[in-house]
Amino acid sequence: MKFVLISSSLVGLVSGHASLIMPPSRNGIDSELPPWHNTHNPPGTGWIQPYSCQCTNGSEPFCNSGQGCFWFSQGCTIGCSECDGQGARLPNWDHCPLESIKPTVNDPKYRSLNQNATAGSPQDIFKYNPWRAPGRAPVFDACGKAGGSDHQAFNAGAYNTTVYAKQGDLGSVVLKPRPTGTVWTRGTVAKTRWQYTASHGGGYQCVFAESVHACMHVHVCVCTCLLYTSPSPRDRG
């Protein structure tokens, strides 16, 4: 469970594999389809490296997050003007050497992986990841791209085609608003539930749309974790 402070700071973000469970998001719409509905064993995506958004949901029996964790952007590092769609997890991979910047978040307490590495050193292999300089990395789309890029890739870069979307679709284009009755007011504290399937470098940042109809207006949420869990054993990054 998390409490989030609704802030108005504009930011660009690249996600790992994670899903918003409460309130349910438009990205999890596939949870209404039989393969993903009320199951602890949802189907894996693609054929290169099948993966799923399998998770637990506290007191509730099912997460029903659909393929929500596969709406993301591949190949987006800090300082870049655009994402390149390349998602291999190579140490110290700078996706735009002519544009990249130095990380601004360097305190080990804000990194859940590789905390003993000196910030900015060759051992600090995640220094170009988006959460190391909040607001300074691009995205394909504020609501994500299905599968992270236009084509299937390793590291769970895939999306199973459904009536709602296919690989490479942009969330703000194909996903319709999914009213839940939940209203978050800027400047207030809201209760939500979120799960991550793979951290890919140990940083997290919450985002939300200014309104359900304005998905491209993305803002930062300052997140406070009430319960900390170790990186998922499924994450090999």
What SS3 state is found at 223?
A: strand
Say how far apart CA 224 and CA 4 lie, in whole Å.
Answer: 6
pLDDT of residue 226: 36
* Tally of CA atoms within 13 A in the half-sphere of 98 that contains its CB: 2
pLDDT of residue 232: 40
Say how far apart CA 126 and CA 93 lie, in whole Å.
Answer: 8
Say how far apart CA 217 and CA 112 lie, in whole Å.
Answer: 28
Chain-centroid distance of CA 122 in Å reads 25
User: Is residue 115 within 8 Å of residue 135, measured between CB atoms?
Assistant: no
What is the arithmetic mean of pLDDT over 187-199? 77
Residues 99-151 pLDDT 10s: 999 999 899 888 777 889 999 999 999 899 888 888 889 999 988 999 999 99
User: Is residue 28 within 8 Å of residue 66, measured between CB atoms?
Assistant: yes
pLDDT of residue 159: 95
pLDDT of residue 12: 33
Say how far apart CA 28 and CA 63 lie, in whole Å.
Answer: 10
Report the domain count for the chain: 1
* Tally of CA atoms within 13 A in the half-sphere of 154 that contains its CB: 5
pLDDT of residue 196: 74
What is the arithmetic mean of pLDDT over 144-165? 91
- Does position 219 have pLDDT exceeding 80, yes or no? no
| Beta bridge partner(s), residue 180 | none
- Does position 215 have pLDDT exceeding 50, yes or no? no
**Structural domain that includes position 203:** 1-237
Q: What's the DSSP call for residue 118?
A: P
∠ CA 25-62-131 to the nearest 5 degrees?
45
User: Is residue 24 within 8 Å of residue 60, measured between CB atoms?
Assistant: no
pTM assigned to the model: 0.78
pLDDT of residue 54: 85
> Which residues have a Cβ under 8 Å from the Cβ of 90 and sit 6 or more positions away?
none
